[in-house]
């Protein structure tokens, strides 16, 4: 499937047309300097996942970018809802991709953090059906993502 280069908004609702998708690509696990402080974070056996010593949450820094010029909080909000996670730190590091962003994601269970890490190399987008229903879709056929 092709991702449009610019999302076409419905002139009445100002939302993406049912056939258009707002997509983002998770490109890599990032590292932030704060994770090197053993007083704040414990390294886990899972690549890129650290445990916050003070609250027990599992943290992972992920770089991602929107694939369109559309600046939108979706599908990021739906990713957070789906994996019961939140963003602990916005813009935590300088991204490798000039259009990218590195945020620290936090989850109360390591399995949820692992699910977030599993998004690396995948395209995530909202798909609106003809009835107006929206679903989160994950496409793993991306070739240009890297860890």
Tokens of 139: 């496409």
The distance in angstroms from the start CA to the end CA of the chain is 23
User: Cα separation of 113 and 50, whole Å?
Assistant: 9
Tokens of 95: 């991204």
Structural element, H or E, at residue 76: helix 76-82
pLDDT digits 0-9 by tens, 105-143: 999 999 999 999 999 999 998 888 888 888 889 988 776
**134: Cβ–Cβ under 8 A, 6 or more apart, which residues?**
78, 126, 127, 128
pLDDT digits 0-9 by tens, 19-64: 455 789 999 999 999 999 999 999 999 999 999 999 999 999 999 9
What's the pLDDT band for 13 if we cut at 50, 70, 90?
low
User: Cα separation of 105 and 138, whole Å?
Assistant: 18
Question: Do residues 63 and 100 lie in contact, with contact meaning Cβ atoms separated by under 8 Å?
Answer: yes
């Amino acid at each position: 499937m092709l991702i449009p280069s610019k999302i076409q908004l419905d002139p009445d609702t100002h939302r993406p047309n049912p056939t258009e998708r707002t997509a983002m690509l998770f490109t890599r696990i990032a590292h932030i300097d704060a994770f090197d402080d053993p007083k704040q974070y414990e390294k886990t056996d899972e690549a890129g996942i650290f445990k916050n010593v003070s609250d027990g949450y599992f943290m992972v820094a992920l770089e991602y970018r929107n694939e369109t010029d559309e600046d939108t909080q979706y599908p990021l909000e739906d990713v957070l809802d789906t994996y019961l996670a939140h963003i602990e730190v916005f813009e935590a590091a300088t991204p490798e991709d000039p259009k990218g962003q590195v945020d620290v994601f936090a989850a109360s269970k390591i399995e949820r953090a692992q699910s977030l890490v599993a998004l690396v190399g995948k395209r995530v987008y909202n798909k609106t059906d003809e009835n107006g229903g929206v679903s989160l879709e994950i496409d793993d056929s991306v070739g240009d993502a890297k860890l």
